[in-house]
Amino acid sequence: MSINYNYSIELARSQDFPNLRDTVYVDHVGATLYSRSQMEAVHKDLMSNLYGNPHSHNASSKLSTDTVDQVRARILQMFNTNHKEYSLIFTSGCTASLQIIANCFRFGTGNHTCLLLNNVTQIAECLFLIFVILRILRKEKKNYLFLDAQQGVFCYLDDNHTSVQGMREAVADRTSGIFCLDEQELVQAICGAESSSPVAESSVDPESINGEATLPPTVPQSLVAFPAQSNFSGRKYPLEWVLRCKQSGLSVPSRKSSESEKWFVLLDTAAYVSTSPLDLSRVQPDFATVSFYKMFGYPTGIGALLVHKRAWSSLDKQYFGGGTVAASTSKGRFHAFWKSLHDRFEDGTVPFLNIISLKHGMDAMQKLAGNMQVVCDHVFAVARYFYQHLSKLQHGNGQPLAEIYGGVNFETSCSQGGVVTFNILRSDGAYIGYSEVDKFANLHDVHLRTGCFCNIGACQRFLSLSDKVIKENFDAGHVCGDNMDLIAGRPTGAVRISFGYMSTIDDARVCLRFIADSFLEKPVTIPAFPNPDCPSNDSGPKVRKLTDIHLYPLKSCGAFKVSEWEMGSKGLLYDREWVLVTDAGVTIGQKKIPQICMLRPHIDLESRRFTLNFPGKSDFL
């Protein structure tokens, strides 16, 4: 085992994560887990203190305001920066942070004129003026109104979360181009820009610290977005890209950059910061997005957008909610935003109780796991152990059991996070659908993730799914989140196992054991056929007879024993077909009600009747 494995977490695991008893949770990129001491601290805090609405001015309101400010400062400190360099805007999560940028980033800084028309006469006069201008343009054979408009472009890596991909629809009408690049294309675009005249890094004058400065008119502003870590494969992208993109921009196809063009960098750190340290004093993206439940497990529905001071003036906010303006009028279109960036972007009352709870998440992680570098090393050690053993599993004929995606060999935690994504193969090389793997995982109480993980770009790249195939699969009925895992023998998604700071080597072993036991095809022993002229050899292969078949139609209940049974498309007919649920739809297993193992099912195929029997009770359906 690696020297970086944190053995102390095994003791903390048994004490602070009782919900993991007899369960293996390996979906930490989806959401990590909260600890018992963390939740106890949250409840004690809320029961001991009176927190009021921060927009009021009473004592409980002031306590909330002060505590929220303390948490804001502590989060900045956790990322090795401060409020002078970055403004931290609390949001509902990474997606909401990305939406702010999509709606507010200015791709061009030319002045815009807005007319407020108060009556029918003014409207008629305005329409007449537009008509005259259009007639003139038509006569001059011009097809544009603004001859000097300059807009930047939006570029994003294909290996990005759907929430980044969705930004393109919000910015489409405000850019001069949208470019989706794979890793090789992005590197070429960076190198191409560096070999030409460098673009000046975006700068800001002192007035912009108060949010008042604007860049010169008609300066195009471009935005490039990529993740610090892929949520699909765990691949960590080079953080030096941030500085290179800011200094030189990108050289994208069929477009000539302006010498005055400014390039801004959006770094999605949601998957990265859950198990890796982020130093914003060294890596300085213009925008960084965070979801805190991926770091601490609790609370959900709270994230942050971090904006570097150089990028404050690049955001142009239109909508204003409660608490974001210093003054406004109800009839005339007058409003004045607060000077502080986070005050102007945090519309309405912030979820102050959730924000206050974050400090207990930070405390718990530091107490149980140490600093983030210790977490990073530990998670990498567990993931590498799993990867190394999974990659060595072979069927009896020597064919690999798994097809692993990512393109790295877990050489260093600088290039790979605690994620292993793969598909299972049969001995003939055919794929086993991820839904089937998920069902076997549930039977072994292993909680993993299947599908495309809201990252269709990486899914398309690693599974060789063209845009045409995606559309054909959709026409065939496949949608995100369904169980249509194979179409024409090709996978539509994959299996992802990801580890967190409370994961252990035993978690990796259980995952490997269930995969091997469920899908590994062992060598088949071919019986010898003795020569009839030779005396028989009692030491030869023995003929074995199947005496009983045990079916489990109802999960966690007893077996139904038969001597012969029909086969269905998925194996023995009705085997593991049903599960008990409560009125609320929550599944019931032996962990919750151990006595259900005494339920004895019986199926009569002729009458198509399914009966359950419990000792001392009459049969019931």
pTM: 0.78
Rounded to an integer, the average pLDDT of 41-52 is 98
Neighbour-count burial of 206, counting CB atoms closer than 10 A to its CB (0-12 exposed, 13-18 middle, 19+ buried): exposed
- Give me the amino acid identity at 609: R
Asked whether the beta carbons of 274 and 292 are under 8 A apart, the reply is no
d(C-alpha 246, C-alpha 190), whole Å: 10
Q: Read off the pLDDT band of 119 (50, 70, 90).
A: low
The percent of residues in the chain predicted with pLDDT above 90, rounded, is: 67
| 364/204: higher pLDDT | 364
Contact 453, 273 (CB under 8 A): no
Buried b (16+ CB within 10 A) or exposed e, 160-186: bbbbbbebbebbeeebebebebebebb
- Residue 452 contacts residue 446 (beta carbons within 8 Å): no
User: Of 452, 390, 459, 397, which is closest to residue 429 (Cα–Cα)?
Assistant: 397
Compute the average pLDDT of residues 495-507: 97
pLDDT above 60: residue 267: yes
**Exposure class string for 137-146: b at 16+ Cβ within 10 A, else e:** eeeeeeeeee
Q: Which of 263, 237, 92, 85 is nearest to 158 (CA)?
A: 237
pLDDT at 476 over 80: yes
* Tokens 């598909």, located at residue: 423
pLDDT at 401: 97
CB atoms within 10 A of CB 252: 22
DSSP 196: S
Asked if pLDDT for residue 582 goes beyond 70, the answer is: yes
CATH 3.20.20.70 for domain 8-12+371-519: no
pLDDT of residue 197: 55
Average pLDDT over residues 200-209: 46
For the ranges 464-473, 520-529, 598-607, the lowest mean pLDDT is seen at 520-529
Catalytic residue among 454, 511, 557, 597: 454
SS3 (DSSP) at 384: helix
The 3-state DSSP class for residue 288 equals strand
Residues 103, 96: Cα–Cα separation, whole Å: 11
* Phi and psi, residue 235, nearest 5°: -60, 130
Count Cα atoms within 13 angstroms, Cβ side, for 581. Answer: 6
> With 50 as the cut, is the pLDDT of residue 114 above it?
no
Phi, psi of 585 (to 5 degrees): 90, 10
CA 72 to chain CA centroid, nearest Å: 23
pLDDT digits (tens, 9 = 90+) for 413-467: 999 999 999 999 999 999 999 999 999 999 999 999 999 999 999 999 999 999 9
Is the alpha carbon torsion for 390, 395, 400, 405 positive or negative? Answer: negative
420 with 410: CB under 8 angstroms? Answer: no
Q: Predicted confidence band at 211 (pLDDT cuts at 50, 70, 90)?
A: very low
Q: What is the pLDDT of residues 370-388, one digit of tens each?
A: 899 999 999 999 999 999 9
**Which residues 6+ apart lie within 8 Å of 453 measured at CB?**
29, 30, 231, 232, 459, 496
- Angstrom distance (rounded) from CA 424 to CA 405: 12
How many degrees, rounded to 5, is the angle at CA 387 between CA 296 and CA 238? 65
> What are the residue boundaries of the structural domains of the chain, listed by start?
8-12+371-519, 549-613
* pLDDT over 50 at 206, yes or no: no
Beta carbons of 429 and 401 less than 8 angstroms apart: no
Assigned token pair, 77 = 């400190």
Q: What is the pLDDT of residue 494?
A: 98
The Cα-based distances of 320 to 13, 169, 334, 342, 413 in angstroms read 45, 22, 11, 12, 42
Annotation says 114 is catalytic: no
Query: CA-CA distances (angstroms) from residue 375 to 291, 298, 471?
Result: 17, 18, 41
What is the rounded distance in angstroms from the CA atom of residue 502 to the CA atom of residue 509?
15
Could you tell me which residues are beta bridge partners of residue 486? Answer: 491
pLDDT digits (tens, 9 = 90+) for 314-347: 999 999 999 999 999 999 999 999 999 999 999 9
Q: Which tokens hold the place of 264?
A: 């801004």
425-430 CB contacts, 8 Å cutoff, 24+ apart: 425/399, 425/400, 425/401, 426/395, 426/519, 426/521, 427/395, 427/396, 427/397, 427/399, 427/521, 428/399, 429/399, 430/489
pLDDT reading at 148 higher than 50: no
Per-residue confidence (pLDDT) for residue 600, from 0 to 100: 85
CB-based contact 55:68 (threshold 8 Å): no
Kindly tell me if the per-residue pLDDT of 579 is higher than 90: no
| The pLDDT of residue 141 is above 60 | no
b (16+ CB within 10 A) / e for 577-592: beebeeeeeeeebeee
